[in-house]
């Protein structure tokens, strides 16, 4: 009986807290799908974000844009490498990255954005997936397996395929920028929302 009363009181307190929290924020029409520009599958408006969280949301947004740039650059780089005789399977890996990394990073962007704007509960999954992705991005910027052109392969590429070496260097720099932006957003969200 005591646990029932405790649960009821806690649930009512949580509902009231969430209600007050939602009332204090402006009403957001989540059904106004306006992003990305041509596809329009989610609602995104930086003006609806509280000023102290705008930089965080912008860094999440920029990370998702940079992953698109990385995957396209990776396809170009691996296609050129395949043309010079390096394994052609790298092109397939590049397309696998295109169809896996972009949706994952887009999910993380939207989860973080919506969690910051309206529902802090969404940030729980965001935090753990973001940690895993940061570790992956660091690893992928170093290794030279599958279709990744990490720092390890740069010496070989600059020696035999200089243009591919430059592209691979840009890929690695993009990964490190994504790590920085994602780490910044994760740090701010972890400190602000807890």
CA–CA distance, 8 with 122 (Å, rounded to integer): 23
Q: Where are the domains of the chain?
A: 30-193
- What is the pLDDT tens value at each position of the chain, 194 positions in all? 555 444 554 455 455 445 444 444 568 888 888 888 888 899 999 998 889 899 999 999 999 999 999 999 999 999 998 998 888 898 999 999 999 989 999 999 999 999 988 888 888 889 999 999 999 989 988 988 888 888 998 898 889 889 988 998 999 999 999 999 999 999 998 876 54
Token pair for residue 1? 């009986």
* Triad 169, 177, 30: Cα angle to 5°: 135
Per DSSP, what are the bridge partners of residue 35? 42
- Rounded to a whole number of angstroms, the CA Rg of the chain reads 21
Cβ-proximal residues to 155 (8 Å cutoff; 6+ apart), any chain:
none
């Amino acid at each position: 009986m005591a646990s029932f009363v405790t649960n009821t009181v806690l649930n009512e307190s949580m509902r009231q807290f969430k209600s007050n929290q939602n009332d204090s924020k402006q009403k957001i029409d989540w059904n106004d799908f306006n992003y990305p520009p041509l596809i329009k599958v989610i609602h995104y408006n930086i003006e609806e974000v509280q000023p102290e969280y705008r930089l965080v949301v912008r860094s999440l947004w920029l990370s998702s844009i940079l992953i698109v740039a990385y995957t396209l650059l990776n396809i170009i780089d691996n296609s050129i490498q395949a043309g010079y005789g390096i394994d052609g399977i790298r092109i397939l890996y590049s397309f696998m990255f295109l169809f896996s990394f972009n949706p994952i990073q887009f999910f993380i962007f939207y989860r973080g954005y919506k969690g910051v704007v309206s529902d802090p509960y969404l940030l729980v999954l965001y935090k753990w997936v973001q940690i895993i992705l940061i570790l992956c991005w660091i690893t992928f910027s170093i290794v030279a397996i599958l279709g990744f052109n990490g720092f390890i392969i740069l010496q070989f590429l600059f020696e035999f395929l200089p243009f591919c070496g430059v592209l691979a260097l840009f890929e690695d720099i993009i990964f490190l920028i994504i790590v920085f932006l994602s780490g910044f957003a994760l740090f701010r969200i972890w400190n602000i929302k807890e």
